[in-house]
Amino acid sequence: MPCRAMDQQGATLPQRGIVAGPVRRAVAGGRGLGHAAYLTTWIHNANPSKVVFCNNAVVIENIRERNYFTKKIVDAVLCETVPIYWGCPNIGDFFDTSGMSLCETADQMKDAIQAATRHQFMALNPALQVAKAQAAHWADLEGRAARAVLATL
């Protein structure tokens, strides 16, 4: 089932190929970019070719802080999309980042979106598979919590 963007009242926005068509992606939070309609326009302006922006994920955390990341990046990697990521500055301590586009500014995000091609995805896919195994570990919140409790007994 394709992803559908929602406005703030929960109504479905008009489907746009760059968001809902062939694109598998994670879009989330972040100042100025959190509203789906705004982010869709922003991505489309950065990379107007709907065809070449496949298999990439724009992942924006709510804050940029060491050791803080959310399921946004985990879900993007588990979906086997190349994350174009703004967030945890030391994400490399948790994931192999050689299959990701790490960004620190909005300009870097636009550049990464413009550089998103099928060829890039194929080149980064082997590293993405390594990160996928790491993401599976972080996705198992209940299992990790249970093991931590058992380790204290």
The pLDDT score that the predictor gives to residue 30 is 39
The pLDDT score that the predictor gives to residue 48 is 58
Q: In this structure, are residues 86 and 109 in contact, taking their beta carbons and an 8 Å threshold?
A: yes
Average pLDDT on 26-51 reads: 50
Give the chain's mean pLDDT.
74
The pLDDT score that the predictor gives to residue 90 is 96
For 51-108, what is each residue's pLDDT tens digit?
555 688 889 998 889 999 999 999 999 988 899 999 999 999 999 999 999 999 888 9
The pLDDT score that the predictor gives to residue 65 is 92
Q: Give the C-alpha separation, 77 to 92, whole Å.
A: 13
Q: Give the C-alpha separation, 150 to 122, whole Å.
A: 41
Average pLDDT on 102-128 reads: 88
Task: Give percent of the chain above pLDDT 70.
Answer: 65
Q: DSSP letters of 92-128?
A: GGTS-GGGSEEESSHHHHHHHHHH--HHHHHHHHHHH
Judged against a pLDDT cut of 60, whether residue 36 lies above it is answered with no
